[in-house]
Structure 1
Amino acid sequence: MSSNKNNNYLVPLIIIGILFFVMGFVTWVNGTLITFFKKAFSLDNTSSYLVTFAFFISYTLMAIPASMVLKKTGFKNGMSLALLVMAAGTLIFIPAAELASYNLFLVGLFTIGIGLTVLQTASNPYVTILGPRESAAQRISIMGIANKTAGIISQVVVGSLLLAGATSVDPKDELDKVVIPYLVLTGILVGLAILIRMSKGLVEVSEEEETPVASQVVVVEKTSIFQFPNLILGVIALFCYVGVEVIAGDTIINYGVSLGFAEEEARLFGTYTLGGMMFGYILGIVLIPKYVTQQGYLLFSAILGIFVTIVAIFSTGFTSVLCIAVLGFANAVIWPALWPLALSGLGKFTKIGSALLIMGISGGAIMPLVYGGIADSIGSTQNAYWVMLPLYLFIMYFGLFGHKKRSW
């Protein structure tokens, strides 16, 4: 019976893996877009990081509405709808390029983020519920490999199209480089939306499935989502995590350029960070839960992040760049470990809890902007990385104590 259940889970996990691949492609191309738009529109650091702000702030604004949509549509139809919204966002890039409008590009990124909000709100708890809780981090790590593989491909492919070769003196000619890639991406997203809608492989699962019967007795006594400290602290920890993840992944190209590396060389630095994350995911799959617990790996990741950040700030040249890339390894398993710990015991509150966790992704909107503001104000992209230390410290607190709290 257990074997049959695992076989029933295999097809849905493959489909969700494809969706994580798509999410990775459109998310991690932002690091390339930041450098591309900075040059094309002659932006400072703060303005260039509006790319991540526009993209990730939609998670805060749309997470609760996304959970409401999913209650009406279910997981499968919600995922299909999300892909169509993302396609609308990528399509906006075409008139934005024609009009040479940075603001319209930001609207496109915000729209993509709306679609991703629905997709994330559906897919993450789906993977958590679809199997034993103690191995949830392992399943999400597999999804993470698909996500970061797509990120590496997007930075290499799109980076070669947007950042490689001679730069035109005419910004309009530069911006026209995005038209073909984003038309192709729009077509892929629409095609996937249709396939998901027609697929019989995605089964609907109930959020109550993820909680043992013994835990459900506790859940019945609670009437508000805010009565779960492990969730609320988890939201803050996830805000901190996405903040450091996006800073490490999306600032590294600009950081390399600021240190004197040529764009042709620096455009690949983001792939080093994503490669580090992939290695961390693979290690997590091997170690969790057989050799180390989810919370144990989470704690290790936070401590490593603190150490590597300090080394990055005090080292020089490529060594410092490499340290920022190593943060990818440190960050890898924080996301997969956070989700099951934060959602533990929520039962019927799982979907709204997932929506609150998705709101924590706004760390990717706010913290890179804070980083850029600090870099501009002190004139140092390197010392601005100090902003990551308090974020890792809170993640460490959650790994030590926060996830265990069941009452305030």
Structure 2
Amino acid sequence: MELSVDQPKQQPDDSTSTVVTGMLFVGLLFFILGFVTWLNGSLVPFLKIVCGLNNFQALWVTFAFYIAYTVMALPSAAVLRRTGYKNGMTLGLAIMGCGALLFIPAAQTTHYALFLAALFTLATGMTLMQTAINPYIVCLGPRESAAMRISIMGLFNKGAGVVVPLVFSSLMLADIDRFSHTALATLAPAARDAMRAMLAQRLVFPYACMAGLLFAIMVFIHFSRLREIPLDTDEGDDGVERLGVLQYSQLVLGALALFAYVGVEVIAGDTIGLYGHELGVSNFGVLTSYTMVCMVLGYLIGVVAIPRWLSQQRALLCSGLAGLVFTVGVATGSPHDSGIAQALLGWTGIAPVPNTVMCLALLGLANAMVWPAIWPLALQGLGRHTASGSALLVMAIAGGAVLPLLYGRLSDAVALREAYWLMLPCYALIFWYAARGHAIRRWR
């Protein structure tokens, strides 16, 4: 059985306009992926109120979403072998549109299981695209500049992450104080359920619009001039040989580092609203935008600096170190003082946030270069096993399902702030992989 979608053969560049056109189409898809992904950061505290959940239960949102990348990676590979990349992308958009439509009955019934099913369906469609577009970007040019190209795509992805919380907050979180835990606790059960149902109804129109937009883009991509890339099917690469990817220690260790990275990226982006809400930050619904702005800045640094001034390995080393520093800042900083935010954002007129919240947002800067740097380092030297190696890295996205859920359990047992210590060993692993792990080529 295939472990991943097959790696596309590198195609000759017919013209600069063809390459630019392809990059713009893929950039649009990255924007869509980012839009849907980073909506979770605002959705977690929203559904916590609507469905009356604790932190652990609310973070099943991230589990249902990110576990799809592991569960559906192999089926997605099989689908893409039959449809090709372009048709696979349109099918992925169609599945995402169906997932968005599922939010309508979920909102009307306020059944949490339906929300989770809708999220899983959305992520299933996204998996279909992710298994194709990441290797596609890597193969567009020299491997030593792959991180720079992925960084450009990251600007589309994280740019959507900046916009989404602002849109969600304006549409969904108006007069949210009426629905706070304290306000709802004073109501009779029937009145409390009615208030939650009224809040849930706010999801119907936006998700109906999202479904319509996804189906429209599906049609646009289907009839576009996006160049199809032939699949590399190696008839001699049987199932036993495909398992040979596990002999490449730089790949397996890279997958572990990627597992840790996706986990901490999701924790930083999707729990900052929960944490801000606990601290009484008035604009908690848009705090994910703070993290995403920091990630966009990190991607811009990558686009400019890699590989001219900064190698992929050194970028990853700096990211791991910064992650360690900011994690300590979150766990030990002041939840009342806002000096860091005032120093960094005072000139913008943006309302300052507590230091611990700002350190959590700054993790976006630390995280930006991890994904672009790990991919080329982990796939280096795999040859015909590159396709299977790519799938292993895609499946490592399951870190976004497991680690936030573990964080939710810890936060209910201790506190939201203390639970952030969970990220420290994750960044230590990323730092070690950059310093040494990526250079290990064989198990001893």
Q: Is the 8 A contact 1:207 1:348 kept in 2?
A: no
Distance 2:230 2:16 in 1: 14
* Offset at residue 160 of structure 1 (A): 1.6
TM-score (norm 2): 0.85
Query: Does structure 1 residue 312 correspond to structure 2 residue 333?
Result: no
Residue 40 of structure 1 aligns with an amino acid whose one-letter code is V
Q: Could you tell me which residue of structure 1 aligns to residue 425 of structure 2?
A: 390
Q: Deviations over 1:109-165 (max 9, x none)?
A: 011111111111111111111111111111111111111111111111012211222
Distance 1:225 1:68 in 2: 19
Contiguous gaps of at least 5 residues in structure 2: 1-11, 180-191, 234-240, 336-353
Q: CA RMSD in A?
A: 1.8
Which 10-residue stretch deviates more, 156-165 or 244-253?
Answer: 156-165
Q: Given the alignment, which residue of 263, 267, 279 partners 1:243?
A: 263
Structure 1 residues 188 and 55, CA, compared in 2 at 3 Å: closer, same or farther? same
Query: Does structure 1 residue 275 correspond to structure 2 residue 285?
Result: no
Tell me the number of residue pairs that the alignment of Structure 1 and Structure 2 aligns: 393
* Offset at residue 207 of structure 1 (A): 5.7
| Structure (1 or 2) with the larger CA radius of gyration | 2
Query: Does structure 1 residue 134 correspond to structure 2 residue 144?
Result: yes
Q: Could you tell me which residue of structure 2 aligns to residue 357 of structure 1?
A: 393
Q: Could you tell me which residue of structure 2 aligns to residue 232 of structure 1?
A: 252
Query: Does structure 1 residue 285 correspond to structure 2 residue 310?
Result: no
Q: Could you tell me which residue of structure 1 aligns to residue 31 of structure 2?
A: 21
Which 10-residue stretch deviates more, 332-341 or 192-201?
Answer: 192-201
Q: Could you tell me which residue of structure 2 aligns to residue 328 of structure 1?
A: 364
Distance 1:254 1:314 in 2: 18
Distance 1:118 1:157 in 2: 26
Distance 1:337 1:280 in 2: 12
Q: Could you tell me which residue of structure 2 aligns to residue 183 of structure 1?
A: 208
Query: Does structure 1 residue 173 correspond to structure 2 residue 198?
Result: yes
Residue 362 of structure 1 aligns with an amino acid whose one-letter code is A
Distance 1:48 1:223 in 2: 37
Provide the secondary structure at the position in 2 that maps to 1:196: helix
Provide the secondary structure at the position in 2 that maps to 1:188: helix
Q: Could you tell me which residue of structure 1 aligns to residue 435 of structure 2?
A: 400
Distance 1:3 1:82 in 2: 26
* Offset at residue 201 of structure 1 (A): 2.2
Query: Does structure 1 residue 36 correspond to structure 2 residue 46?
Result: yes
Q: Is the 8 A contact 2:84 2:231 kept in 1?
A: no
Q: Is the 8 A contact 1:67 1:352 kept in 2?
A: no
Distance 1:315 1:351 in 2: 43
Provide the secondary structure at the position in 2 that maps to 1:364: helix
Q: Could you tell me which residue of structure 1 aligns to residue 3 of structure 2?
A: none
Structure 1 residues 5 and 227, CA, compared in 2 at 3 Å: closer, same or farther? farther
Q: Deviations over 1:292-335 (max 9, x none)?
A: 10111001100110011101111122111000000000000101
* Offset at residue 235 of structure 1 (A): 1.1
Higher helix proportion, which one?
Answer: 1
Q: Given the alignment, which residue of 326, 333, 338 partners 2:374?
A: 338
Contiguous gaps of at least 5 residues in structure 1: 209-220
Query: Does structure 1 residue 122 correspond to structure 2 residue 132?
Result: yes
Q: Deviations over 1:162-202 (max 9, x none)?
A: 12224465111111101111011111111111222222223
Q: Could you tell me which residue of structure 2 aligns to residue 211 of structure 1?
A: none
Distance 1:173 1:393 in 2: 45
TM-score (norm 1): 0.93
* Offset at residue 57 of structure 1 (A): 0.6
* Offset at residue 352 of structure 1 (A): 2.4
Q: Is the 8 A contact 1:97 1:176 kept in 2?
A: yes
